[in-house]
Amino acid sequence: MLVKFLDIGIAGLTMGGLYALIALGLNLQWGVTRVLNVSHGEFLMLGAYSAFFLYSLFGISPLLSLVICAPVFLGIGCLLHRTLFRHLLKTTKSMAGYEIASLLAAYGLLFILSNSAALGFGPRPRALAYLTQSLTFFGATFALNRLVALGISIGVCIIVYLLLGRTRLGKAIRAAAQDVNTAQLMGVNIHQVLTISFGLGAMLAAMGGSLLSMLFWVEPFMGFRYLIVAFIVVVLGGMGNIVGSLIGGIILGLVGSITTSFQAGLGMIAFYTVFIVILLVRPTGILGKLET
């Protein structure tokens, strides 16, 4: 019984940490820039492919690829917001119109990126074997890569939390998330803050993809499933709430681990059930909309 409990718990915490990391990026984009970026999962997919090819072609560790790819995807995300979404913000007449236009643009990005990956990399799933050594704890056996992924994902979430809570940039991001106009009146460079927030979201998605590449198959259309999970985590924890994303990710990871231990196909059913219940009972999320 103890072994089964540990198996379920570690598996749930591992996936929960990854869910939290991925959702944190979506939370920054949706909660701060007001872009419901449905192409968020595609940045995860590209991060996973980056880690796979860096390892298979050049022997670069997926952990080192995190450091290599993070600034690259940060720059890509910033460039994308600066060229596409900032233009939409300037040309739409209202915030509601901007949210609709940016959602449609993000849908276009989703199809462009996923289908380009399918054409360029092929539809065949790929996998890399890294840190597959086993550790035994109280009779339960765990793959080392899962424990490493858990530690890194939680560590990155904590770093982002400290960035947003203890730095001038973080305070500016939180101010923009609360009220863009008031933040701008207080001297915040809104365009810069929104661009950095979107770039951070893309970077976190790619980092999550790099960690996932150590655990699961990598394929061009893997992003959509994680987008749905990230969306549920954001709603569960509260839009714009960093701690909420961490708690929501852990809860969802444990729920998925418990349900799939009975039957593999129950995972997404359980996720959608949690999503519907939280919308009915507490639509602002467990910790509320925004952490101030």
Q: What is the spatial distance between Cα 284 and Cα 278, in angstroms, rounded to a whole number?
A: 8
Burial per residue of 139-171, b for 16 or more beta-carbon CB atoms within 10 angstroms, e otherwise? ebebbebbbbbbebbbebbeebbeebeeeeebe
Please tell me the CATH code under which domain 2-281 is placed. 1.10.3470
Minimal CA–CA distance to 285: which of 248, 230, 246?
A: 248
Residue 50's pLDDT band, with cuts at 50, 70 and 90, is very high
Distances (CA, A) of 65 to 61, 73, 118, 277: 6, 12, 22, 38
CB atoms within 10 A of CB 71: 11
pLDDT number for residue 68: 92
Q: Which two tokens stand for residue 34?
A: 């007001």
Lowest mean pLDDT among 41-45, 177-181, 213-217: 177-181
Q: Tell me: the pLDDT tens digits for 102-137?
A: 999 999 999 999 999 999 999 899 988 888 887 777
- Specify which residues 136 forms β-bridges with: 141
Q: Which residue has the higher pLDDT, 180 or 114?
A: 114
Measured distance CA(211)–CA(18) in Å, rounded: 8
- Choose among 26, 16, 15, 14: nearest CA to 205: 26
What digits encode the pLDDT tens for the residues 232-249? 999 888 877 778 888 889
Reduce the DSSP state of residue 83 to 3 states and report it: helix
- The pTM assigned to this predicted structure is 0.92
Q: Looking at residues 221-225, what average pLDDT do you find?
A: 92
Distance of alpha carbon 46 from alpha carbon 257, whole angstroms: 26
- pLDDT, averaged across the chain: 89
Own/partner contacts of 142-148, CB < 8 Å, gap of 24 or more, are 142/10, 143/215, 145/214, 145/215, 146/10, 146/11, 146/14, 146/215, 147/10, 147/14, 148/63, 148/214
Q: According to the model, what pLDDT value does residue 291 have?
A: 45
For the stretch 56-76, pLDDT in tens is: 999 999 999 999 999 999 999
Mean pLDDT over residues 201-230, rounded?
Answer: 93
Q: With 70 as the cut, is the pLDDT of residue 90 above it?
A: yes
The confidence band for 1, taking pLDDT boundaries of 50, 70 and 90, is low
